[in-house]
Every structure is written in C-alpha cells, then in structure tokens.
Amino acid sequence: MHTHLVLLMTMNPTCHHDDERIMDLAEEFLSNDFYFSMYSPAKLFYVWGHSYEFDQNNNWNHMEKFLDKICKKEDVWYATNGEIQRYVDAYRRLIFSVDSTKVYNPTCISVWIGGIFTEKTIEVKPGETADLIPPVDM
C-alpha cells in the first residue's frame, strides 16, 4: 500500500461535517490560543464527510454556516487530502544538519517549521537551506 494511503486512512479527523460541535471547534481552531501543545503552533482542522449526506440529512445550511465562519482567513491554508499528503511527504524528506541548526528542503514544496515553545516559524523553500529557530533557553 502506498504511504499516502496509509496516512490518510490513519489520520484522526477533527469532526464530521454534521457534528453539532463543529462551530465551537472552528472557533477554537481560529483562536490565537496554543492548540493541543506548546511544542508547536501548527493546527489542523480536518473535516470529513460525504457530499451526498447534505441532501440525505437536509443540512446544507449547517455546512454553509461553517464555511462562512472559516473561509477567507489569510492565515489558514485550505487543502485537499492530496495537498496535505504532498506536504507531509515533503516534511518527511527534510534533511537536518548534525548539529540541528540548519535544514535542507530537497523537494519542490515550501515547508514551514516552528521552534519549540515559541510561535515563531520559518519557511524552508524548495531546494534551499535555512537556519532553524534556536531552542528557547528555559
């Protein structure tokens, strides 16, 4: 089985599109609060479902309200399963220096990396080497 199929089959979604908590979860996702852990400011809001269910459950309104809430945010990347998989594959191919101060991106996709216990991130552009964010001295 291809790696990308395994990842998508094992990803735990945030919720189903018909979940009654979807608006609260969206609000939490859009907040500036740390999400899950202070180790990374990265967030993933992964909604699953089938379009035929909108007609079957007569809940087009529910989905439209959710989309109105979450759309057109400049700091949100809206992606398909395939785009998420390509990003994860690119992240996994990063090459880190022995002293953990630099990272090289051998792929054709930009990857963003955050520092530990900080909200700072860096973009590692395709074919480039970048300096990593130094660890916070605690």
Helix or strand or coil: residue 114? strand
HSE, CB side, 13 Å, CA atoms: give it for residue 138. 4
DSSP 8-state code for residue 106 = -
* pTM of the predicted structure, to 2 decimals: 0.76
Q: How many residues does the chain have?
A: 138
Q: What is the pLDDT of residue 1?
A: 44
pLDDT value of residue 56: 92
List, for residues 15-67, the tens digit of each pLDDT value. Answer: 999 898 999 999 988 887 655 455 555 678 889 888 899 889 888 888 899 99
What is the pLDDT at residue 25?
A: 92
pLDDT, position 13: 87
User: What are the pLDDT digits (tens) for 102-122?
Assistant: 999 999 999 998 877 677 889
Q: How confident is the model at residue 89 (pLDDT cuts 50, 70, 90)?
A: very high
